[in-house]
Structure 1
Amino acid sequence: MDRPNIPLNALRAFEAAARHLTLSKAAVELCVTQAALSHQIRNLEDRLGVALFRRVPRGLVLTEEGAALAPVLTRSLDAIGNTLDRFSGGRYHEALHVGVVGTFATGWLIPRLADFEAAHPEVDLRVFTNNNRVSIPAEGLDLAIRFGDGSWHGLDAWRIMDAPLTPMCAPSLALSVISPQDLNKHRLLRSYRAGEWEGWFAGLGLICPPLRGPILDSSVALADMASQGRGVALLPAALLTHWERTGRLVRPFDHSVAMGSYWLTRLQSRPETAGMRSFRRWLQQALFCDEGTGGLPA
C-alpha cells in the first residue's frame, strides 16, 4: 500500500501539540497562529484517515492512534535536530563516544587529546573512564580501550600497547626493599585480576607470600595507595612515568610480569564510521611515534 505524502510541517505541528496537549503552547513554540496549527493537524488527520486528538475542556487528549505516533515522531525529530546541530564551519562533526580504562586515560590519552583535536576537528571526542569492566552496547560506546588478552566475544580488537606490570612503591618504603625477599615484610596491594603477584614471583623462581588486605579495581587507585606508603603495587610503569618523575613512586626492581596488553575494541556487528576510523588511525600512529622515540614520553 502506498504511504500518504505528508508535509513535514504537519508532522511538526502534531508532535508539538502532542507534547504540550494544548494548541496555544504548541503554536507559540512553532511561531505560528493557533488557527494555522489546527489546520496542519486536521490536514494530517485527513491524510491518515484517523483522529489523533480528542478535545477536552482543558486541552487535548491523544487518541490511541495519536499515542502510537507521537513518541516515534519525537525521537525522529530529535535525531534530525541532533544531526543538523553537528554541521558547523562548513563540515559535519561526528560525536565519538570512547570508553577508556582509567590508567590508560590518565597515563597516555588525556595528555594527547589536544593533538587529536587539532588533527581531527570534525570529531567531537567524548571520553568515559572505567575500571576495565565495560559493555560497549549497554553504555552506548563507539569504541573502548581496555586491558586484557584481546579475546572478547563479539568484538574486534587491535593491540595498541603492551603493559608489563612492575612493583612500584613510595620512595620511603623502597629503602627497605633491597631484594625480592624483602617484599615479604610489606603489604602487597592487590587488584581484582587474580594471579598477578603469583606470576611475578614465579618468574623469579620464588613462592608468592600470602596476600591480604583490600582488593582494588583500578590501577590508578593502586598507584595512589602505594604512593602513600601503604604497600607495594604491581603497576604498568609505562603509564605512570609522571608519578616517577615527580617522585611519588619508584621501581625497586626491573623484573616485570606480562598479564595483558591494552586493546582498542569495537563491536563486530557495527560498521566503522569515519570518526571511529580517524581515532583508530591516529591512536596507532601516535603510539608508533612513541615507540620510535624510545617509548612513551615523560
Structure 2
Amino acid sequence: MDRPDIPLNALRVFEVAMRQGSFTKAAIELRVTQAAVSHQIARLEDLLGCTLFLRTAQGLIATDEGRVLFPVLEHGFDAIARALDRLKGRRYGEVLKVGVNTTFALGWLMPRLAAFEAAYPEVDLRIFTNNNRVEILREGLDMAIRFGIGGWTGHEVVTIVETPFSPLCAPVAAARLTHPADLGREVLLRSYRSTEWPLWFESVHTPCPPIAGPVLDSSVAQAELAAGGAGVALLPVEMFDRFTADGRLVQPFGAAITLGRYFLAWPSERVQTRAMASFANWLAEAALAA
C-alpha cells in the first residue's frame, strides 16, 4: 500500500504541540490560531490512521504512537534548522528569546507580531510562554514580559501597558447580576494572587463575600472556565477583548481596578544587544499606538 503524503506543516505543528504540551501554547509559538493547530493535528491523525493525543480534563496526553513519532521529528527539525543557519552566509541575524506571560501573549502581543517581524526581519524572535513565574537567566532567556508592580531585584524594567481588572462572565451569569453584592451567589474564580477580589470589592464599596472558587495560575484558564459558565473571573479586560467581542464573555459592571502593569524586564548585568533594543523600542511604540 502506498504511504499517504504527509504535509510537512502538519508534522511541524505536532512537534511543537508535543513539546509545548498544549494546543494554546503551540498556537502562540507558531503564531496561528488554536483552531488551526487542532485542525492540523486532526488531519495528521487521519492520514496516519492513529491517535497522537488524548484530550483530557488535565490537558493533552501523548499516546504511545505520539511518543514514538516525537523524538524523530524533533531531531529532524533541529537538523534542518542547523543546516539553514549555516546557509544564511553573511546576512546579519540575531536570535532573541523572550519569555512572555501567556495572557499578554494571546491578548496583546500575538496580533501585533507581524508588524515587528516586518520592521525587524533581521531579528529571529522566539517566544516562550509562561504563567508569569519566570527566571530569565536560569531559563536561558534574553528578556521577559511579566505582570506585577515592577521593582524586581537585579532587573531593568520598562512599563508596556496598564490593564485594569474587572469581573467577566458568561452572558447567562451576567443576566443574574445587577449589583456587585450579587457576586456573592456566584462561583468566583481565583488566581494565586489572593488579594485581587478583596481589592475589587473594596473599590466598589461592597463587602467581599467568602471566596471558595478554584485557584488557577492562568488567566486564560479562568477566561475559558468563565465563558463556559463555571464562574466569574476577575480579569484584565483589554487582554480578553476577543472573548468580549464575540460575546463569550460579558463585563457586567463598569468598575475596574489597577492591580499591576505589564513590564518588559531583562537582567541588569546583561549588555543590551541590538535585537533587545529593537524589541524594547518597538514595544514602546506599539503601546503608545494602542
Could you tell me which residue of structure 2 aligns to residue 220 of structure 1? 220
Could you tell me which residue of structure 2 aligns to residue 110 of structure 1? 110
User: Unpaired runs of 5+ in structure 2?
Assistant: 1-81
Counterpart of 1:101, as a letter, is N
Say if 2:239 is the partner of 1:231: no
Distance 1:86 1:116 in 2: 24
- Aligned-pair CA distance for 1:239: 1.0
Which structure has the larger Rg?
A: 1
Counterpart of 1:245, as a letter, is A
Q: 1:282 to 1:86 in 2, by over 3 A?
A: farther
Distance 2:109 2:179 in 1: 34
Could you tell me which residue of structure 1 aligns to residue 280 of structure 2? 280
CA contact (8 A) 1:108 1:239 kept: yes
Which SS does the other structure have where 2:99 is aligned?
A: strand
Distance 1:213 1:249 in 2: 18
- Aligned-pair CA distance for 1:213: 2.6
Could you tell me which residue of structure 2 aligns to residue 129 of structure 1? 129
- Aligned-pair CA distance for 1:86: 7.0
Distance 1:204 1:87 in 2: 60
Say if 2:167 is the partner of 1:182: no
Which SS does the other structure have where 1:233 is aligned?
A: strand
Q: Cα RMSD (Å) of the superposition?
A: 1.8
Could you tell me which residue of structure 1 aligns to residue 151 of structure 2? 151
User: Quick one: percent identity of the two aligned structures?
Assistant: 52
Distance 2:251 2:89 in 1: 49
Q: 1:264 to 1:86 in 2, by over 3 A?
A: farther
Counterpart of 1:143, as a letter, is M
Which SS does the other structure have where 1:157 is aligned?
A: strand
Counterpart of 1:150, as a letter, is G
Counterpart of 1:194, as a letter, is S
CA contact (8 A) 2:181 2:207 kept: no
Q: 1:86 to 1:198 in 2, by over 3 A?
A: farther
User: TM-score, with normalisation over the residues of structure 2?
Assistant: 0.70
Say if 2:244 is the partner of 1:259: no
CA contact (8 A) 1:98 1:128 kept: yes
Which SS does the other structure have where 2:190 is aligned?
A: strand
Distance 2:154 2:198 in 1: 31
Could you tell me which residue of structure 2 aligns to residue 99 of structure 1? 99
Could you tell me which residue of structure 2 aligns to residue 34 of structure 1? none
User: TM-score, with normalisation over the residues of structure 1?
Assistant: 0.68
Distance 1:159 1:151 in 2: 11
How many residues are matched? 210
